[in-house]
Amino acid sequence: MPDPYTGPHADTAALILIDVQRDFFEEDAPARIEGTSEAIPAMAELASAFRAKGLPIVHVVRLYLPDGSNADMVRRHAIENGARVVRPGSPGAQVAPELLPAKAELDDEILLKGGFQAVGPREHIMYKPRWGAFYGTALEGHLRDAGADTLVFAGCNFPNCPRTSVYEASERDFRAVLVADAMSGVYDRGAAECRRIGVPVWNVAETVKWLEAV
């Protein structure tokens, strides 16, 4: 039997797709994360399953201003010295088109002001200024307003932004699921640590079956 406090609810779930931007997955990208491009088909399958159920989807992105003023401290020096990574308006900042319901480019003005860019029914893009998707953003309110109490995480580079976001979600009493084959960088110890804080680690097939049972 699922835990009554952490067991995920499929009918009130939202999909959180993190940092699946060209500069992080394309072959010649300046900040390529191994395994991300290979996981995109699994992410796309998840997105399609959530759309079919009419459940919320949030695409979370990074945007680094040319002067580095909004970048993480560890990356600020490189950005100040000309590194071009997810620069607003650049092709490299765009979300993988396979994950979107229709062709769409980031509206940098809306995003950098903390707004949510609608790209489909119950589907939005949002910007985060640091590793965690909840830090300095309106994500929690957006999800509460959508009636979501369970967050399904997929995307790019588990050790950094997805892992941080999973823990932030747990701190806010959201139920959470990590979809391991729809995320790059997942490693055994990290997955085990997620399980120990009540976050099940599933694959796409298990997650889609869970959704379809509702």
Residues in the chain, how many?
214
pLDDT tens track for 180-202: 999 999 999 999 999 999 999 99
CA 213 to chain centre: 24
pTM: 0.98
Residues of the chain with pLDDT > 90, as a percent, come to: 99
